[in-house]
Structure 1
Amino acid sequence: MPDAPALDIVVLAGGISHERDVSLRSGRRVADGLASEGHRVTLREPDATLLPFLAEHRPDVVWPALHGASGEDGALRGLLDALGLPYVGARSNASGLAWQKPVAKTVVQAAGVATPDWITVTRDAFRELGASSVLDAVLHRLATPVVVKPASGGSAQGVSLVDERGSLPRALVDAFTYSELAIIERRIIGTEVSVSVVDTGDGPVALPLVEIEPISGDYSFEARYNAGETVFYTPARLEESLAATVADAGLAAHAVLGLRHISRVDFIVDEAGTPWFLEANVLPGLTETSLLPQAIDAAGLRPGTVYADLARKAMADGTD
């Protein structure tokens, strides 16, 4: 829309979560992309001055580029709703739903999308019932290898791949650093694939899939955000029919979780060609090494144009 008027957009980045640095990098790239499209952009931290600033300034759109609880658990989005300000991304309730991985897995599984079997363990249960007894119960149902991760959070922080029982206690302690609730999930061996979903006005669309191949074999925080740690294939090296199946599963998860505008849905595709849902991200990373910008590039689009189109869609959707 070359003749459309410029928008006044506030991009939110930073915060106090464990993913602050990633958020700052995402926010700068979003702000730069929007500015390149001619929009007036203000980059703000979510601090004590933010809500009074927004209430007085009343921008056309707020673009949350906040990772971690401060931007993805739904609380801040609920406050933006209360102020009557349009914003990019999932509404408060849907954001909170996707943020809690066990809840998201339950909802997506009920919609017919496969997800690895899992058990949740609280920090208190681990302490009060005794580590050995808890692990006996877990391994009665789930045989190793398993994945242990916080029930909420992103960027692979607190995530451990566990091949034998002796490593489970340390893995749970690491997960509890980021959340009071941990997931122990059956590990699926296969190809890790990401489905980026955007809706700029014509309904949700899956961008070209991104296949992830960590050089170390572990898609850790470092592998995600340090150039050269991971090989990405966009589009993913899947047969066309299988790629379409994975994309459809991503769109189904986006829809059933009530997400809007933008999301990234992560899968492991096993040897039988089954996509296994891992998690949905209501605000995917938008750094120079992140997956969604790679998918945008593979689709032949400019990131700044997509971010601006998402802002216009958010403004059109308003606060209803």
Structure 2
Amino acid sequence: MFESKINIALFFGGRSAEHEVSLLSARSIFQALNQDKYNIFPIAISKNGYFRSLAVSKKILFGEDKRVPEVERTNVLPEGILNLLENKIDLVFPVLHGPFGEDGKIQGFLDVLNIKYVGCNLRASAVGMDKAYMKQIFAYNGIPQSKFEILKKMDYSQQKSSNFFNEFAKNLGLPFFIKPANMGSSIGISRVNDLQSFARAVNEAFEFDKKLILESNVEGRELESAVLGSEKDIKVSAAGEIISTHDFYDYQAKYEDQSTELIIPAKLSPAAKAKIRNLSVQAFRAVGAEGISRLDFFVNEEQDQILVNEINTMPGFTKFSMYPLLFEESGISYSELLDNLIELALKKDK
């Protein structure tokens, strides 16, 4: 038994379209945290942005709800939550995926309160979430990636969709993919084959963000690696491969389709393994990440091509998610991984 426990606030839910994934991750994390070592205070955040009380949050976490029930109230922080954060909590584990959680907003809030937290700081979180900035930073650092274009809503109109389509098809080739710049879990992503699918994909993606990423299609395997550590001490997991029956690894394939296959470790040549490891470190450092990140790759060994697709600064954390599974293959169990992330966070300067 430990002499004194570490007090952890577990944030989950949030305003993002990835709200439901956050709840699944939080349930897995709560079950895996060592109750002899940690006092865990679940704090649910509703889809409309309100923090729920501890009592309500516990019921939600231990229940079967797929989302945090929304409430109408004037105060965002219920009585007692702010006092808890400022006076009792040693650390926050913000298991919040997507906007308003993975994009630096909650990190900035905790910085203001001078509270330590698991994962990347405001700056790295914002860059990792905004795929347009991320890709521009990767390009600056010479990190190989697919061809891409950026489309802002203010520049786009339905009347000019054919002009945009022709230009992008020329630059990127067909098919190409469209996705919101600030979103994860493959939400809002569409494959474009012609003008009709282009107009539909743009309109759908603009429902999630005012800025879109358009990427060329890459023939190859989809692989992922997990990263743990600080800038000076970085651990990279074995790489894993995703084999999906869908056109691409979309939300349904990730969380609903049982036919999606994860191969861990992926079958790769020693040279490809080394390159993925090196690129993982490069990308992690390029955005200034710390603590936790997952890197997504496109790999075509026949063409000697390994491209970084994106970095995720708060990846899915269920027991069946790639991030913990990859480190389990590398000899770090789910519970040990959580211990490492908490230890890294506690060592960070406030």
CA contact (8 A) 1:37 1:308 kept: no
In 2 relative to 1, CA 6–223 (structure 1 residues): closer, same or farther, beyond 3 Å? same
Residue of structure 2 aligned with 1:285, choices 302, 316, 320: 316
After TM superposition, give the deviation of residue 37 of structure 1 in Å: 5.9
CA contact (8 A) 2:231 2:285 kept: no
Partner residue, 1:32 = 31
Partner residue, 2:335 = 304
Residue of structure 2 aligned with 1:61, choices 87, 91, 95: 91
Q: Which runs of 5+ in 1 are unaligned?
A: none
Question: 3-state DSSP class of the match of 2:294?
Answer: strand
Deviations 1:100-133 (CA, angstroms, capped at 9, x unpaired):
1011011112212111111111223222762112
One-letter code aligned to 1:127: S
Superposition map of 1:9-158 within 5 A: 9-36=8-35, 38-46=37-45, 47=51, 48-49=76-77, 52-127=82-157, 130-158=160-188
Partner residue, 2:5 = 6
Structure with the bigger RCO (C-alpha within 8 Å, sep 6+) is 1
After TM superposition, give the deviation of residue 170 of structure 1 in Å: 1.0
Mapped to 2, the partners of 1:173 and 1:56 lie a distance apart of 43
One-letter code aligned to 1:75: K
Question: 3-state DSSP class of the match of 2:310?
Answer: strand
Q: Which runs of 5+ in 2 are unaligned?
A: 46-50, 52-75
Partner residue, 1:241 = 271
After TM superposition, give the deviation of residue 253 of structure 1 in Å: 0.2
Deviates more, 1:218-227 or 1:197-206: 197-206
Question: 3-state DSSP class of the match of 2:42?
Answer: strand
Runs of 4+ with deviation above 6 angstroms: none
After TM superposition, give the deviation of residue 288 of structure 1 in Å: 3.3
Mapped to 1, the partners of 2:272 and 2:321 lie a distance apart of 23
In 2 relative to 1, CA 316–172 (structure 1 residues): closer, same or farther, beyond 3 Å? same
Mapped to 2, the partners of 1:300 and 1:4 lie a distance apart of 28
Mapped to 2, the partners of 1:66 and 1:109 lie a distance apart of 28
Mapped to 2, the partners of 1:161 and 1:63 lie a distance apart of 35
Residue of structure 2 aligned with 1:272, choices 303, 312, 326: 303
Give RMSD over aligned pairs: 2.0
Deviates more, 1:222-231 or 1:256-265: 222-231
Mapped to 1, the partners of 2:194 and 2:173 lie a distance apart of 9
CA contact (8 A) 1:142 1:186 kept: yes
Deviates more, 1:182-191 or 1:29-38: 29-38
One-letter code aligned to 1:167: S
Structure 1 length normalisation: TM-score?
0.93
In 2 relative to 1, CA 215–138 (structure 1 residues): closer, same or farther, beyond 3 Å? closer
Question: 3-state DSSP class of the match of 2:101?
Answer: helix
In 2 relative to 1, CA 216–137 (structure 1 residues): closer, same or farther, beyond 3 Å? closer
One-letter code aligned to 2:77: T
One-letter code aligned to 1:181: K
Partner residue, 1:160 = 190
CA contact (8 A) 1:224 1:289 kept: no
Deviations 1:40-88 (CA, angstroms, capped at 9, x unpaired):
1111124222762444444111111001111111011011111111111
